[in-house]
Amino acid sequence: ETGVTQTPRHLVMGMTNKKSLKCEQHLGHNAMYWYKQSAKKPLELMFVYSLEERVENNSVPSRFSPECPNSSHLFLHLHTLQPEDSALYLCASRGTGGSDGEQFFGPGTRLTVL
């Protein structure tokens, strides 16, 4: 596979469940990002990882826990979510080449919290 992939593509979970979102990039990039996209709202940056180190946490509630075990993989662990957390969760990556403003996005995971 090439590019940025995300699994699962769709997820329905209850408020007491624990689940994880997975992102994988095959582009040799060294930075990875999690964004949240809710209806009628801009994409919201959640976390930034650079060289597998978290460099930014954009005031995200602790019920969202990111993990970056290596430069190709990024996870978002979810627990005790709220219905307002229902959204499209997008992963992106960036390398040292290319345009400075360019990130490569995955197709997203559509999350519904019941």
Residues at the contact surface with other proteins, assessed by CB under 8 A = 4, 31, 33, 35, 41-45, 48, 50, 55-56, 90, 92, 94, 99-108
Please say which residue, 46 or 78, places its beta carbon nearer to other proteins. 46
Q: Pairing mode, if any, of strands 10-13 and 4-7?
A: unpaired
- Min dist CB 11 to other proteins, Å, is 16
Question: What is the full DSSP assignment across 55-77?
Answer: EEE-S--TTEEEEEEETTEEEEE
- Measured from the CB atom, the residue of 51 and 69 that comes closer to other proteins is 51
Min separation Cβ 73 and other proteins, Å: 18
Contact criterion met (CB below 8 Å) for 36 and 102: no
Residue number, 75 or 104, with CB nearest to other proteins: 104
Residue with tokens 């995300």: 6
Cβ atoms of 51 and 68 closer than 8 Å:
no
